Amino acid sequence: MLINELSKMTGISVHTIRFYEKSGLIEGRRDETVKSNNYFHYDEETAEKLEFITDAKSVGFTIREIGQIIDAWYNNKFSKEEKLELLEQKLISLDQKLKEIKDMKKQISQFKEDVLNERC
């Protein structure tokens, strides 16, 4: 399928698909039998990868981390232990971010209390 079809199928903009391609997360292929254009063609696996990328982004993975995960899952470059370690590191990172957010929330609540009690 062409990029416009892929975009409609996945709900991901053409611009974003091109960004993911430039980032090395997905790859289109040229149809060598067609000489009249330089269009890239995409397969079902690319659509699956785009869904995976969307899911991974929604839980906080960076583009670099997503690239590592795609290597791990789609290219079988990582062992089971390496896959688990990658996921464990992300869980640790998310726990740290949660702690930081809770600390910020506590500080903002204190500021709010100070304003309400005219201490600032």
The full set of domain ranges for the chain reads 1-62, 79-120
Q: Residue 36 and residue 32: Cα distance in Å, rounded? A: 10
Task: Extract the runs of DSSP E, i.e. beta strands, from 50-107.
Answer: none
Q: Is the pLDDT of residue 35 over 80?
A: no
Task: Give this prediction's pTM.
Answer: 0.71
Q: Is the pLDDT of residue 83 over 90?
A: no
Over residues 92-105, the pLDDT tens digits come to 998 999 999 999 99
The fold of 1-62 is Multidrug-efflux Transporter Regulator; Chain: A; Domain 2 (1.10.1660)
Instruction: Using alpha carbons only, give the angle 74, 79, 84 rounded to the nearest 5 degrees.
Output: 90
Residues in the chain, total: 120
12-21 confidence digits (pLDDT tens) = 999 999 999 9
**Mean of the per-residue pLDDT values for the chain?**
91
Average of per-residue pLDDT across 61-73:
87
Cα angle at 50 between 39 and 21, to 5 degrees?
A: 45
- How much is the pLDDT for 96? 95
Strand partners of residue 41: 29
Given a cut of 90, whether residue 4 has pLDDT beyond it is: yes
pLDDT at residue number 12:
97
